[in-house]
Amino acid sequence: MENTSKLASAGNTKTGLAKWFSLVILLMAQIGTMGDNSGLSVATASLINELGASVSDIAFANAMYPLIAGACMIAGGMLGLIWGWKRLFQVGALLLCLAEIIAAYTDNIQVFIFAARSLSGFGASFLIPAVLGLIVGIYTDTKDRAIAFGAVAAAVGVANTAAPLVFGFLIDKFDYRVAFEALAVYFGIVFVLGFALEKIEKPTVKIKFDFVGTILVSIGLLAVIVGLLKISEWGLISPLSPSFHILGISPALPLVLFGIAVLIIFLKWENQFEIKNGACLMPQSFVKTPQLRDGLYMCGMVFFVLGAY
């Protein structure tokens, strides 16, 4: 707790606009990451007409962002502790800016999926943890921090509502390429504004990056997410495609179970890694501290409900 209180002591002395300017930048980043994924669904018809995308391609493009972001989010958070949250923030914004440029100018749906959407996922896996880490570091007062986290939660809802409308307007008036160009400019502005964020000291304790844990959590989350996403295509128990099955059953459920098994191994590995190195991707406090555990459950429910809509 002592180290946390020293991270941004200068932020406590500011008032008014100066105090909340950093939060405005962080909210812009959060809105951008959510808006990027929400707006893609509006561009479906344009991608089919101009890039010759199939329904399967569109589904894959929509899934690629949360797949990569979800699999790499925890590792991105650990990189923030090593690099510093401000640097992680700007790297994430730059990756997203580059992703939108590729999306705007490519004429190949495979490049759109595997380059643009993958890069968007990596950018989000850096930017989202950086937003949360910067809030904790900049707003050390509990009331200010509560306001900041509340604003981030509200920004998620605003982005999910407004992004399809803005994307739709730009596509109707111009075309889908202009919409992605606008997003590229937006993330470019977020990157530049990142220089104005308050500098937060990195932890004095040297942190070792957990490569094994990163691989395990990435494989586990990818397996679970892909398995769940493919239920409608592969079937839950009975295979929808007779030629694609594992011992007569759909591969979706075995893939999910495999992912869960890998995540259990990941948690056991993290326990040993934390004992040995003092820091890990999934600290035991997340599991053992009731307040933190309840907070994780609440965040999960919020994103589950938002995702359903």
**Together in a domain, 222 and 165:** no
* Tens digit of each residue's pLDDT (9 = 90 or more) over 178-188: 999 999 999 99
State whether 225 and 168 are in the same domain.
Answer: no
Predicted model pTM = 0.76
Residue 296 has pLDDT above 80, yes or no: no
- Do 218 and 165 share a structural domain? no
Domain that holds residue 118: 1-203
| Pair (181, 224) in one structural domain | no
Per-residue pLDDT of 211-258, as tens digits, reads 888 889 888 888 887 788 778 777 878 777 666 667 778 888 889 999
Q: What angle do CA 192, 86, 80 make, to 5 degrees?
A: 140
Percentage above 70 pLDDT, the chain: 83
Same-domain status, 119 and 43? yes
* 3 state SS of 246: strand
Computed on alpha carbons and rounded to an integer, the radius of gyration of the chain in Å comes to 20
Considering the domain architecture, whether residues 184 and 268 belong to the same structural domain is answered as no
Contacts of 74 (CB under 8 A, 6+ apart): 214, 217, 281, 282
How many domains is the chain built from? 2
* Per-residue pLDDT at 191: 96
- The pLDDT mean for the chain works out to 81
